[in-house]
Amino acid sequence: MKYYAIIVAGGSGSRMQSDVAKQFLLLDGKPILMHTLEAFANSELQPELLLVLNIHQHQYWEELCKTHSFTIKHLVIKGGAQRFHSVKNGLKAIKGKGIVAIHDAVRPLLSADLILRSFIAAEEHGNAVAGVQSTDSVRSINPEGKTEALNRENLLMIQTPQTFTVDILRKAYQQPFRNEFTDDASVVEYSGYTIHMIAGNRENIKITYPEDLEIASILKKKASENIKGLELY
């Protein structure tokens, strides 16, 4: 079986309000995006890596790779206007069959175990989408501002990786874009498939706002200390 990972890094990171797009901000001395690529490169099934980047950032990325001596093999593909179009461009670069994980570049803290489980479950069920239970109470709100409590037992917070057979994802991404398509699971569901959920990682946060980077730094430090600790025994 052939495995692929499409790392989507074509966004501008407007909510982060930083000078450079958030995927290039440093986490533990290295661009966030490099941590994400390393996570997949070091995972058991060794997926082929496809990196989707805004065309105007290709040269900047090349320079960053030189500066950080980053040598992990990956194909760079041009991004699209929305995440949907970036995924679609990544998918076009895959020619044959196989299993493909789609992952946000700005979720660098996912575990090797989650990557492996995601590929295995997608091979068995056709797709596998990571999610965690909400620890907050949740309410819906209508346009008039009226809110209503929701039963959080029935709700999941959706992460990436979202992993699919190439055939299923290809068929789903032939649809025209809709505003409701906030992730790949919604695209695939809209094309008629039932989504198979797997347990995500609580530390697999999406770095969106400045405080998320601070949280990620603490979690990364903790993860590095655990790895060093294990090497001692």
Ligand X SMILES: Nc1ccn([C@@H]2O[C@H](COP(=O)(O)OP(=O)(O)OP(=O)(O)O)[C@@H](O)[C@H]2O)c(=O)n1
Question: Binding of ligand X at residue 162 (CB under 6 A)?
Answer: no
Question: Binding of ligand X at residue 105 (CB under 6 A)?
Answer: yes
Distance of CA 143 to the CA centre of its chain: 30
The runs of H, that is alpha helices, within 68-165 are 83-92, 112-125
In single-letter form, the type of residue at position 24 comes to F
Question: Binding of ligand X at residue 175 (CB under 6 A)?
Answer: no
- Residue 158 binds what, of ligand LQXTBERG, ligand X, none (CB under 5 to 8 Å, by partner type)? ligand LQXTBERG
Size of the site for ligand X (CB under 6 A): 21
- Residue 56 binds what, of ligand LQXTBERG, ligand X, none (CB under 5 to 8 Å, by partner type)? none
**CB of 77 or CB of 145, closer to ligand X:** 77
Burial state string for 12-23 with b = 16 or more CB within 10 A and e = fewer than 16? ebeebeeeebbb
Question: Binding of ligand LQXTBERG at residue 182 (CB under 6 A)?
Answer: yes
Instruction: Write the burial class of residue 156 (CB in 10 Å: 0-12 exposed, 13-18 middle, 19+ buried).
Output: middle
Q: Which of residues 6-35 bind ligand X (CB under 6 A)?
A: 8-15, 23
Question: Binding of ligand X at residue 80 (CB under 6 A)?
Answer: yes
**Distance (Å, whole) CA 172 – CA 187:** 6
First-to-last alpha carbon distance for the chain, in angstroms, is: 35
CB of 109 to ligand X, least distance (A): 13
**Number of neighbouring beta carbons within 10 Å of residue 26:** 13
In single-letter form, the type of residue at position 87 comes to V
Question: Binding of ligand LQXTBERG at residue 127 (CB under 6 A)?
Answer: no
- Residue 182 binds what, of ligand LQXTBERG, ligand X, none (CB under 5 to 8 Å, by partner type)? ligand LQXTBERG
**Distance (Å, whole) CA 45 – CA 109:** 18
SS3 state at 32: helix
Which segment (41-49, 152-160, 187-195, 213-221) binds ligand LQXTBERG by CB under 6 A?
Answer: 152-160
Q: Which residues contact ligand X by CB under 6 A?
A: 8-15, 23, 52, 79-83, 86, 104-106, 206, 208
Contact residues: ligand LQXTBERG, CB under 6 A: 83, 104, 158-160, 182-183, 206
